[in-house]
Amino acid sequence: MAKSSSSKSGSFWRADWVAGVAIVVAVIVLNAATDFIGTLERRFYDVASTSTSRQPSDRIAVIAIDDQSIANLGRWPWSRDIHAKLIDKLAAAKAKTIIHTTLFFEPQMDPGLAFIRKMKTALGSSPDATTTNEQLSQLIVEAETALDTDAILATSIKNAGNVLLPSFFVLGEQQGKPDSALPDFALKSTLDDPTGFSISAVRAQEPIASIGSAAAGIGHLNQYQDLMDGAIRREPLLVNYYGKAVPSMALLAAAKSLNLTAADIRLNAGQSVQIGKLRVKTDESALMLPQFYKSKDGRPAFAVDSFYDVLTAKIDASKYAGKIVIIGATAAGVGVQFAVPGNPALSPAETIAHITSSILSEHFIVQPTWGGWVTAGLFLLIAAYIIAALPRLSAGIAATTTLTLFIGLLALEFGLLSGSAMWLELVLPATLLVLGHLALTTKRFLVTEAGKVQADEDSAETNRMMGLALQGQGQLDMAFDRFRRVPMNEAVMGNLYSLAMDFERKRQFNKAEAVYEHMAAFDKGYKDIKAKLNRAKNLSETVMLGGSGGHPGGTMLLEGGAVEKPMLGRYQVDKELGKGAMGVVYLGKDPKIGRVVAIKTMALSQEFSGDELVDARERFFREAETAGRLQHQNIVTIFDAGEEHDLAYIAMEFLKGKDLADHCKGDQLLAVPVVLSIVARVAEALAYAHKQNVVHRDIKPANIMYELQSDTVKVTDFGIARITDSSKTKTGLVLGTPSFMSPEQLAGKKVDGRSDLYSLGVMLFQMLAGVLPFRGDSMSELMYKIANEEAPDIRIIRSELPQNLADVVALSLSKRPETRYQTGDQFAADLRSVISQMSGVAPMATSAVVSTDRASSEKTVAFSSTVLGVPSAAQNKVDFTATVPASAADFEKTVVQRVNRPGEAN
């Protein structure tokens, strides 16, 4: 019973829903104990709130006390008469409101002013005032006026009548009465706040009386920085100083620009601050979420002009007419800068500009009172999803659902912020969703993997026993599949060794090799596995000819695992190259002269019997005879033919290149001159074959071999060619590949060389365009199009091709044999003409044709030359012939190659 109780307890703690509850609790603790989720929320707010189409007000301008101004006007702080001059300029230009953010909290006393005043006092107390004393007194009064910069600034501010100055407060909880009451000039800008709808302050700093009394209003310059990252996201519209609410500079500026005073500001406690018809929504402490505008093309949202440029009239002050002008410091070491949404460093003057624009345009962001309930509700829904729903979903559905919910939460918050200026904090439930999904998925994976390990251990012995049983039944492939599922050890190695021996007994050496390789990956030194693997590899690569291993000429096993390769006639067979139209093709070698050949074979006795065998043998050797008559540099050479080991074979020239099938695809097309050169040489080869009364009947890219390095072209597989003598011609026989067949060939009519030229035209079209001229969803549709529809203009597919080339393609694809090319030489000549026109030259092409006297083995070489670009009717001229001995191999290799090809040097 105790064991059962313990098992149930362990199962309880491993349950997914218990893990889900733990995850929810962990996220709650994480949110309460750290600022991780809060940081994510603020970063998301900064991005989303600035991704809006809202535009800043054009009624606001900023004048900066920047580095350039200090460099020209001297060290900070400047004499206050400099500020007075700028205010005078702005007042004369009729600026609507001037906000000066410099703190004039102390008098600015010029050292000479004190002495001037002492002299004035001394002169005023003398009883013997003369005319000279009166003049001196007048000068002293003038000097006093000039040196009293506070008075100068006060006069300018008073004359302007629209200058707002800052005050600064130390924020804190009020415990008793203030150290000092606000001066009368500051009280004029305050509101009664009996409800405490503002931020509490305990100390105040105000401008000096002479300057403050001249101002049109005094607003506070306190910035409300986030305690976690120091960024400014909220604006305290009001600061409460012992029952008096002091408006912020931005709020006071907005009111002043609307020709309102502080008395016109209305407080809707806990909800909003109202100036005129503008209602600015706030929280219960009169904190506003202003809109911070994005920069445009790397420029700040509000243009910032230099103090010095405006003072010296480099910038005309008239541009500020009717605008709210904010003056503030941005120079290094003078002004402070704050991080705000969308900007890591913003000066107080620019910050006020953004906030003032938000108030005037009602571009504030609202955090509804019910937003907290929505966040809590969504958090609980996500918690329920993690605890109750997620464990029941499959991995794919769970991932899709979680991703959809995650994107939905963030998209909702982003959309509300950027589109409706409403902030619902949804990063917390989104974080719970992601962390919960990852945690449960990881748990599920670990539990599954642990289960797999146990299951594998349990099933290993079962698989081994099943393998032994299948091996005993002779099902070796299935046995090997079972053994591979078992972790390797000494016992399994012994089982595999026995299995490999069974494969060898069945002469399945390639499968024995696979078993040995599987064993060697675990232990290369096991028994004689190296020798076994080498022997199996040799045997798997060896061609097994004949009915048995003891058949003469078949494969013989030698000591040490080596093999003696089989023979076909006088040729040694090395390995299989592939499957041909008539059978298997092998790589072979004539050991007497060292010539490498391709050997085409067909096991006639296995494929046919009786009269069919006789007919197949006759056809096979007729192919050899037909192809053997063709001696051309662009036709594969046939060396020998015979029959041995029940195999009929043809030994032919081994070609190093590849067929042209890959070069008919859109991404592997050859250059146009190369394509034309290849097709021209094939046309010449066909012209030669047609003169020998041989029609290929299956011209297509797969039957043309091409080696890029040597630029060698060979026509192969005259396997379905037939001598077209009248005595041997049969009609009604359809042979070939449908897509490349001529209309008359499809109709079963008698065909001649012009049918091959049509097929060559189809190949030319495909190698230029990457597609066939005729395509269909079925064989009947394809055959109908070939027989009845005209080929499309190739320039529809490749408009850059010249018109004369398009004409050649169209002529080669003519439906009627009598209207297409009549000979391959004409076809080749027109192609070479196109090449010469494309290259701008008329090259000479020289070629040679070699024929062999079978009795004497002497070779006759016929040289001919053609000037490319002449009319197609012009035939090649045979310049001379030469007879050379059969032993002159090097000379033979030279004369059968082209001496001059288009685009190549002699």
CA distances from 45 to 232, 385, 465, 648 (A): 12, 26, 64, 83
| Amino acid, single-letter form, for residue 598 | A
CA 523/CA 509 separation, integer angstroms: 20
Residue 193 annotated as catalytic: no
CA–CA distance, 808 with 471 (Å, rounded to integer): 65
Q: What share of the chain is helix, strand, coil (3-state, %, to 5)?
A: 45, 20, 35
Contacts of 110 (CB under 8 A, 6+ apart): 79, 147, 148, 149
Q: How many CB atoms lie within 10 A of CB 735?
A: 14
Which of 66, 698, 756, 830 is the catalytic position? 698
Residues 6 or more apart whose CB falls under 8 angstroms from that of 905 comprise none
Tokens standing for 284? 């219960």
Distance between CA 577 and CA 570 in Å, rounded? 19
Specify whether the CB–CB gap between 231 and 340 falls below 8 A. yes
- b/e 274-288 (16+ beta carbons within 10 angstroms → b): ebeebebbbeebbbb
Q: At what angle do helices 509-520 and 490-505 cross, to 10 degrees?
A: 160
- The conformation of residue 522, written as its DSSP 8-state character, comes to T
Q: What contacts 278, CB < 8 A, 6 or more positions away?
A: 254, 258, 359, 360, 362
Burial, 268: exposed, middle or buried (Cβ in 10 Å; 0-12, 13-18, 19+)? middle
The sheet with strand 844-852 has its strands ordered as 844-852, 859-867, 877-884
Which residues contact residue 424 at a Cβ distance below 8 angstroms, ignoring those fewer than 6 apart?
368, 371, 374, 375, 412, 413, 416
- Choose among 796, 779, 773, 576: nearest CA to 664: 773
Find the Cα–Cα–Cα–Cα dihedral 351, 48, 237, 208, rounded to 10°: -10
| 3-class SS of residue 475 | coil
**Which neighbouring-strand residues pair with 642?**
649
Q: With contact defined as beta carbons under 8 Å apart, do 68 and 311 qualify?
A: no
Candidates 115, 416, 60; CA nearest to 254 is 60
Report CA dihedral (548, 553, 556, 562) to the nearest 10 degrees.
-140
Burial call 648-681: b when 16+ CB within 10 Å, e when fewer: bbbbbbbbebebbeebbeeeebbebebbbbbbbb
Match 């931005």 to its residue by tokens.
250
- Residues marked active site are found at 698
